[in-house]
Amino acid sequence: MPTVDLRATAADQRILAATRRCIARWGVAKTTLDDVAGEAGCSRATIYRLFPGGKDNLLTALAQREVAALFDALRLRLDGVDDLEELVVTGITEAARRLAGHDALQFLLAHEPEVLLPRICFHQMDSVLRTISEFAAPYLAPHVGPDEASRAAEWLARMVLSYTACPAPWVDVRDEESVRRLVRAFVLPGLVQQATLRG
Amino acid sequence: MDLTVRERILEAAYECVARYGLGKTTVEDVTRAARVSRATVYRYFPGGRDQLVSEVIAWETGRFFGRLAEAVAGAGDFAGLLEEALVFAHRAIEEHEVLQKILETEPERLLPQLTVQSERILVFIRGFLLPYLERERLRPGVDPGEAADYVSRMLLSFTASPGRWDLTDRAQVAELVRTELVAGILEPAETV
């Protein structure tokens, strides 16, 4: 196993956490490396050493860290859940709550959509869906088969994203009972149908 | 063609956007292309450049849905309608040169508008789908309004980003519609 420099790891996590706080407060355009350094209590040189390439790389690393944190949180809730309905309901609700409660993400959606949207719309959304599907498909595979699991995972991701970005008055994707109604109405019959079509 | 002045200005603005992009189109460009005076442009679009740009996006979005509605008008039932809509809309977006150029070069100017307008777009698609849905036999307990909203969201999502589905393949589109769109909504067909 490669040795890990614990101090360096701690420093880069501290810098990423500081970057997130700055974005939640001022947005991407107004956040400078000096702001991040001040917030993290380190020097600009340390940021450049740990994130060569400056602000762009810092933002990419932050996005990767936040996605990994979301998946970790979902794993905690989903590991060991055997029932298909529970998996789907818990997965959608937990993901929606975390997106709604993410300070930096919500700042960008409200005040700097032009920074965020080009990375997550049209063709870019296809790669977002692929990432989510790679995470979620293994949970669905025992229930719907490995082939259908990837598509089903993408489908659930579409639902989380659509109802989060543009809420409907008749469903609250952060509320478990509301999601259960949605899932029973539109998702479970489709998963059964998929299984039937595949024989 | 007999266009109203407002339409003539929007048509000209669309041509300018196609040529120069959303960011570089100016009121002067539009004035020249529409052969009207600056004062006329400002009479119809008092917000100037910004209003012109945002209205030309809404205008072309409306025209896009008009073409879509025409393309699917002959569909026999709700599932068939959704298949036609997915195939047409996906191809129309891929082949929409102005949209693709903007997504390539200045997506940040377009996408916030499409997102801000996505509520309007959803309302429009819902209103279009509802009469078709009301002619179908629905599963017990299905609310047509909620079902139309659900299907509208999925149509938008799949059209912009098909993910693992190939929307040029009719068999795949039919499977997608039967499973992820209408399985929970329509009463299953009688099996022979």
pLDDT at B119: 83
Mean pLDDT for A21-30 is 97
Inform me whether the pLDDT recorded for A33 exceeds 50. Answer: yes
Q: Do A113 and B162 touch (CB under 8 A)?
A: no
CA distances A164 to A106, A159, A188, B4, B98, Å, are: 11, 8, 20, 40, 29
Q: Do B164 and A113 touch (CB under 8 A)?
A: no
**What ranges do the domains of chain B cover?**
1-53, 74-192
- Residue pair B10/B16 in contact (Cβ under 8 Å)? The answer is no
pLDDT at A193: 81
Chain B positions touching A117 (Cβ under 8 A) are 107-108, 111-112, 115
Q: Do A122 and B161 touch (CB under 8 A)?
A: yes
The model's confidence at residue A1, banded by pLDDT at 50, 70 and 90, is very low
Q: Do B163 and A130 touch (CB under 8 A)?
A: yes
**What ranges do the domains of chain A cover?**
1-61, 80-198
Tell me the C-alpha distance between B89 and B165, whole Å. 14
Give the closest of A117, A130, A170 to B112, CB-based. Answer: A117
Enumerate chain A positions whose Cβ falls within 8 A of a Cβ in B: 113-115, 117-118, 121-123, 125-126, 129-130, 133, 150-151, 154-155, 158-159, 161-163, 165-166, 168, 170-171, 182, 185-194, 197
Q: What is the ipTM of this complex?
A: 0.89
Closest CA of chain B from A12, distance in Å: 30
| Amino acid letter for position B46 | P
> What does the mean pLDDT of chain B come to?
92
Mean pLDDT for B51-73 is 93
CATH of range A1-61; options 3.30.70.1150, 1.10.10.60, 3.40.1190.20, 3.20.20.150: 1.10.10.60
The CATH code belonging to domain B1-53 is: 1.10.10.60
- For A111, the closest chain B residue by CA position comes to B112
